[in-house]
Amino acid sequence: MKIRVDAAKCQGHARCYGLVPELFDVDDYGLSSVIGDGTVPVELEERAKLAIANCPEYAIEEIAG
């Protein structure tokens, strides 16, 4: 599983970071980006899906890979 954050949609609630800080980084404005290339370790897949479901802007996407 691999994910990305659409920077055009992210509004900086940092909710994803609060849920899975192992996968997301936030800048000084609370805007999120994935750590590394967005590859999700198997043990974090369920929490990654939780972050996707809880992003109010639908900014987190699962991508191929």
Site track 30-59 with ligand SF4 (rule: CB under 6 A), x = hit: --x----------------------x-x-x
Tell me if 24 sits within 8 A of 35, measured CB to CB: yes
Q: Which of 21/41 has CB closer to ligand SF4?
A: 21
Judged by CB under 6 A, the residue of 3, 10, 20, 48 near ligand SF4 is 10
Which runs of E-coded beta strand occur in 1-65?
Answer: 2-5, 24-26, 32-34, 60-63
Q: Nearest 5°: phi and psi at 24? A: -125, 150
Q: Residue numbers of the site for ligand SF4 (CB under 6 A)?
A: 5, 10-16, 32, 55, 57, 59-60
